[in-house]
Structure formats: C-alpha cells, structure tokens
Structure 1
Amino acid sequence: MEVDQVVRLPRLSRVAVCGGTHGNELSGVYLVKELLKEERKVMEEDEKKLVSVLLVLSNLPAMQQCHRYVDTDLNRSFTHATLNDPISDVAPYEVIRARELNAMLGPKGSPEAVDLVCDLHNTTANMGLCLIAYSDRDWICMHIFRHLQREMPDTPIRFIHFDIADKESFSLDSVGKHGFALELGPQPHGVVRSNIYTAMKVGVQHMLNWVRLFNSGTVFEGGFVDVYTLIKHIDYPRDSETHNITAAIHPHLQDRDFCLLHPEDPLFQTFSGETLTYKGNEPLYPFFINEGAYYEKGIALYLARKRRVVVPAIQVQPEQQGFASKKEE
C-alpha cells in the first residue's frame, strides 16, 4: 500500500459514542451524560453534516454502584460465542446487556452495524491518550488517530493494536464496522480528574469533526503511524500456595508506560525488598503498567512491539459524498 494511493471508503453515517462500559471509569460516564444534555444541539449540527451520533450509557447498574461491573466484565462480553451461544435464565447481567447493545449497535459483523463505535475508558496507568483497536489496517481508525495527534500536540497519543481474530474480539467497540476504545489516564477508578475529562472531551470533539470532514469529501493525505502491537502480558509474582502477589511494580518502571523495557531491567520489587528483573528475550514496550482493574485478571502489565505502518490517503466514496471535494494538508 502506497502513501499517495487514495483509498475510497463508505461514508460514516452512524457513529456511537459510549461511556460507562466500566461503571467506575468516570470521564466517559460524565462526558456522555453531558453530551446527552446537549443532544438536541448535537443532533441539529450533525444533521447538517449527514452523520447521526448515538450516545450510549452502556452499564447503568454498574454506574449507579460506581463499580467496574455488576456480575462480569461487560467489556469482555462481545465475543462471537458470548453473543450467539444459548443463554441461561441465570446469565450474568453483563451478558444480557451485551446482547442488548449488540442488537442496538450491531449486529456485530453485519451490514446493519453502526459505522463507527468510540468507547470511552479510563486507566490508572500513565498512558496518556490511546486508541486501542483490533486492526492495524483499519484506515478510518488510523486517520482519526493521526487527526488527534495533529489537533492535540501537547497530549501524548498512541495507537495500540490487539492482534485478535474477529470472532475473539471481546470489547464493545468491536460491534461497529469500525471501532476503537479511547483510553485515557492516569485517573483513579471512581474519581474524575478535570484534565483527563477535558482531554477526553476534546478528543471526542475532534473525532466527530474528523467524521464530518470525511463525509463532506475531504481527502486525508497518507502517512505513517507508529503502532504498538500487543505481544503478551506478565502477571505479578505470586505465592505458590495462597496465590497472593508477593511483589509490586518496581519504582524504576512505575509510570513509565511506553518506555522501552530491556532484558534485565528492574521489573518487580518484592515485599521483602528484592529486585526482580525482566527475563524476556527482546526489548518491548510496557503499557497498562499496574492497572488497578487488572489485579483480578492476573495482569501486571502488557508488552508490545512498536512498528511503523504505512497509511494510504483516503476519501469518502464519490457516489456518497454529496459535497465538493476538499483536500487536507
């Protein structure tokens, strides 16, 4: 694929912005609530630009309790099997809700699915603003990412690629034809920080503005994106009998998300004071370092390889644009 080759893609008629998939990640909760207050104005503006914006509060009971979830993690409930296998009368609330959201925004993998899902999340890790997607060849998501980088130069912004097959993709954003999680941190769960909320609000505004530009016929020039592809995760050291953790993230690693971790670099510090080093065979980039919600999942951090992806120029398909062509420098 060449940078200058223009790829023409269908118009993004319907965009879903979702908050509260995790009920204690409060930037998305409060942002969607705020957008719902302004929904009439938003709808009027978007109607002129031929895009419909659907605002969704994904997990109301978890939001009311300020918990990540009620019975099970909603953002792990959108695999093909969970959405389609027979369901029992005692199914977890989030499995039932996942099917409701799939009916509302999907069905996943169908022509009827919304064109783009942006699901809003917070992390306790020092990750800045990240777009997390299942494809490193989704040019819509890649160009939105590049647009955010241009429009928010003072915010560290990265693209994370979860290389997972479609049937195994597990999160709400996978229901749309295109989709990504917009992850922002650091912010404690159950807390809203003004700077993190504001960065999320600005990011969503720029994302929607990009969709309007795309639908109006703007040509977005090609370029390059640095992609962090998930390779593996590492659990905390644990006691073989109790399974309790026996160490914390080493102080030299804490808050250093996306800083290259080399073999033999400090990784953990045991509660007795011993330093445990990284025993991998290659340098990798850590992220979600010491994420508070991942203790229950047995994940101390993820590790990724970084590589550069060529992104072609894109434009809405001519028969659908309905506007004079413009070019973005």
Structure 2
Amino acid sequence: MQIKSSFNKIDNVVISGGTHGNEATGVYLIEEWEKDCSFLKRNSFETDFFCSNPRAVDLNLRYTETDLNRCFLDKDLEDESAVSYEELLAYKIKNNLKKNYAGKTTLLVDMHTTTSNMGINIMCDDEAPNLLLAAMVKHRLPEVHVYCIKKSDRTDSCLRSSGTYGIGIEVGPIPQGILRHDVVESMRKAVAAVLDIAHEINTGGADETPFSIEYFSHIAEVAYPDGPFGDAMIHKDLEGRDYEILHPGDNIFYGAECGNIQYEGKEEVHPVFINEAAYYEKGLAFSTVKKEHREFKLLK
C-alpha cells in the first residue's frame, strides 16, 4: 500500500512549547527564539512560536487543573460548563490561531519530551498529509521514530490538531523539569528538518520519488495490574526497551508478592512510553504499537 498526498502551500509554521509545563526543552527553545529567531526563518513561509501553558511552566507542573493537550476537541471548546484554567486556555489558543491565520494554511508543531527511552519521535494521526510529513522527516533523519495514532477524538484533542496540518515532536529520555543539552539538540535537529521539508514542499524542491520507511501504529495502552505504586512495577527485563520486540510470555511486571507477570498478548508487539512518569496518574505502564512498512509519495 502506498501513502500518497499533496500539500497546499504552507503559509505559516507555528511551533508551540510548554504545552506540558514540566517539559523544559520546548520552553527553553521558545525562550531562545524570542531572543534570536534566525534559526527558524525560511523564505517561503512565516514562522511563529509561543509558550502554550505559561502558568504550568512557572509552577513546573505538567498542568494546573487538567491536561491542556486533551482540551482541543471542538465539542469540548463549545461546552459552557468548561471552567478549568486549561480548558479556558485551549479556547483562547484555538481562537487566536483561527483569528491570526484565517484563510491560511498552517503547520502546527508541538514540542514535547518523555521520561521513556524513546529517542526522537514524530507523533501524528493517520491523515495522509500528516503521516507523509512525518515519513519525510524519518526519511531525512533515519534515527527518528514515526508514531501514528488513528485519527479520533484522542488525536483531535491535542493542540497539534488546531493547524491545517499538525505533528508533535517527542524526545526522550529526560526527567521532568530539567534540561539536557543532547535532548535540546535533538529537538532542534527535528524542528530544523520539519522546517526544511516544509520549505522544500513550498518551493518544489521536495523529492517526489517514492520511498519506503518503517513506522509504528498505535494498538493499545497497558495498565499496571494493581495501579501505579501498587505491588507491581515495570520488570527489569522490559525497562528501557522502547520500540524493541515484546514477545508473548515476556516479563513485563514484577512485584514482591505477585512475582513475575508476563505479557499475555497473542502476537509480537513493540512497547513504547515504558514507565512514563506522566502516565502514573492514569495507571498506565506502557503502550503497544505495531511496526508497518509502507511506501510514501509526495504528489504535486
């Protein structure tokens, strides 16, 4: 199967950081670009950037009341009972985007980090332009993982869904609330690749030759058997093995009372977001994805 798509001319690339206030890498880069944004400039589009949740950034919290990156569904933004800080902030952000870029084609890039050992990831839904753009980044930077989630309320609730096109960049591992030079440089490299590809799409310089890559599509989330901080924890055999093969019968949890707990799935999968700190509040231990190989082609 071939994934084919064309793009409208991209008028604006809008980059957000601090959507989760304790993910300092994106915040650092936004502050850097406020002083000197020459790194972002390409002559075929305008590039804008903003800190999406400044209050959470100031408090070094993922969010203050509710996760901002789950607040962008249109039906939720129209809910008059929505009164949390992040719900109101999402309403303001989306209205500002509509007002500032009305009638324009925008690419929204949202910067995130993870505590899991996942390297550089491009997060996207399965709409052809977004998946093709992610694939083009992977083709440019082979170390990148493309993580695709089927378009749904889950993807449409993310800030990145507010653009004409939208992707997330997720880099790890890094603990919450700190900076690491290598992670900042990885984020900067991924952002530069996205900007360069958008410019090449606009100017006709992007290669139209079909290419094949592997990417990963989301399957499911796996919960801790007794909740986070219960008896079971991530097994040492699984820790840090993001994107490696998980076989039926492999150890995934260990507890002093329950002992080893094995993966009971019927097929090989790949675990991601293993032991992600932000997901403890949801009781989630990791997610599973499957590897896909597809051919991609940019259309005029």
Give the TM-score taking structure 2 as reference length.
Answer: 0.91
Letter in 2 for 1:139: P
* 1:5-20 alignment runs, 5 A limit: 7-20=5-18
SS at match of 1:300: strand
Distance 2:277 2:168 in 1: 18
SS at match of 1:231: strand
**Structure 1 residues 68, 36: closer, same or farther in 2, change over 3 A?**
same
For residue 319 of structure 1, what is the aligned residue in structure 2?
A: none
Distance 2:298 2:236 in 1: 43
Deviation at 1:86, TM superposition (A): 2.0
Do 2:138 and 2:145's aligned partners in 1 also have CA atoms closer than 8 Å?
A: no
SS at match of 2:219: strand
Give unpaired runs (5+ residues) of structure 1.
316-329
Deviation at 1:247, TM superposition (A): 1.0
Letter in 1 for 2:128: D
**Structure 1 residues 105, 145: closer, same or farther in 2, change over 3 A?**
farther
State percent identity of aligned pairs: 30
Residue of 216, 238, 258 corresponding to 2:226: 238
**Structure 1 residues 186, 28: closer, same or farther in 2, change over 3 A?**
same
Do 1:148 and 1:206's aligned partners in 2 also have CA atoms closer than 8 Å?
A: no
Letter in 2 for 1:249: I
Q: Deviations over 1:110-136 (max 9, x none)?
A: 97475211100000000001111111x
Letter in 1 for 2:148: H
Distance 2:104 2:63 in 1: 25
Letter in 1 for 2:61: H
Does 2:66 correspond to 1:81? no
Distance 1:229 1:245 in 2: 29
Do 1:258 and 1:285's aligned partners in 2 also have CA atoms closer than 8 Å?
A: yes
Deviation at 1:101, TM superposition (A): 1.1
Does 2:124 correspond to 1:139? no
For residue 322 of structure 1, what is the aligned residue in structure 2?
A: none
Deviation at 1:203, TM superposition (A): 1.2
Deviation at 1:271, TM superposition (A): 3.5
Q: Deviations over 1:251-275 (max 9, x none)?
A: 1110000111111100001134711
Distance 2:106 2:187 in 1: 21
> Structure 1 segments of 4 or more deviating over 3 A?
110-114
Distance 1:276 1:266 in 2: 6
Distance 2:80 2:176 in 1: 33
* 1:153-164 alignment runs, 5 A limit: 153=142, 156-164=143-151
SS at match of 1:312: strand
For residue 120 of structure 1, what is the aligned residue in structure 2?
A: 111
For residue 54 of structure 2, what is the aligned residue in structure 1?
A: 60
Distance 1:224 1:290 in 2: 31
Q: Note the aligned Cα RMSD (angstroms).
A: 2.3
Letter in 1 for 2:176: H
Distance 1:2 1:134 in 2: 16
**Structure 1 residues 217, 164: closer, same or farther in 2, change over 3 A?**
closer
Distance 1:38 1:87 in 2: 41
Do 1:115 and 1:176's aligned partners in 2 also have CA atoms closer than 8 Å?
A: yes
SS at match of 1:245: coil
Residue of 236, 249, 256 corresponding to 1:264: 249
Residue of 91, 98, 119 corresponding to 1:99: 91
Distance 1:222 1:174 in 2: 27
Distance 1:145 1:187 in 2: 24
Q: Deviations over 1:167-193 (max 9, x none)?
A: 862110011111111000000001111
Deviation at 1:149, TM superposition (A): 4.2
Name the stretch that deviates more: 230-239 or 138-147.
Answer: 138-147
Distance 1:289 1:128 in 2: 12
Letter in 2 for 1:203: A
For residue 212 of structure 2, what is the aligned residue in structure 1?
A: 224
For residue 267 of structure 2, what is the aligned residue in structure 1?
A: 282
Name the stretch that deviates more: 211-220 or 187-196.
Answer: 211-220
Letter in 1 for 2:216: Y
Distance 2:197 2:223 in 1: 38
**Structure 1 residues 244, 128: closer, same or farther in 2, change over 3 A?**
closer
Larger Rg belongs to: 1
Deviation at 1:18, TM superposition (A): 0.4
SS at match of 1:85: coil
Q: Deviations over 1:61-115 (max 9, x none)?
A: 0000111001110011112321222235xx11000010111112248xx974752
Give the TM-score taking structure 1 as reference length.
Answer: 0.84
Letter in 2 for 1:202: K
Do 1:79 and 1:170's aligned partners in 2 also have CA atoms closer than 8 Å?
A: yes
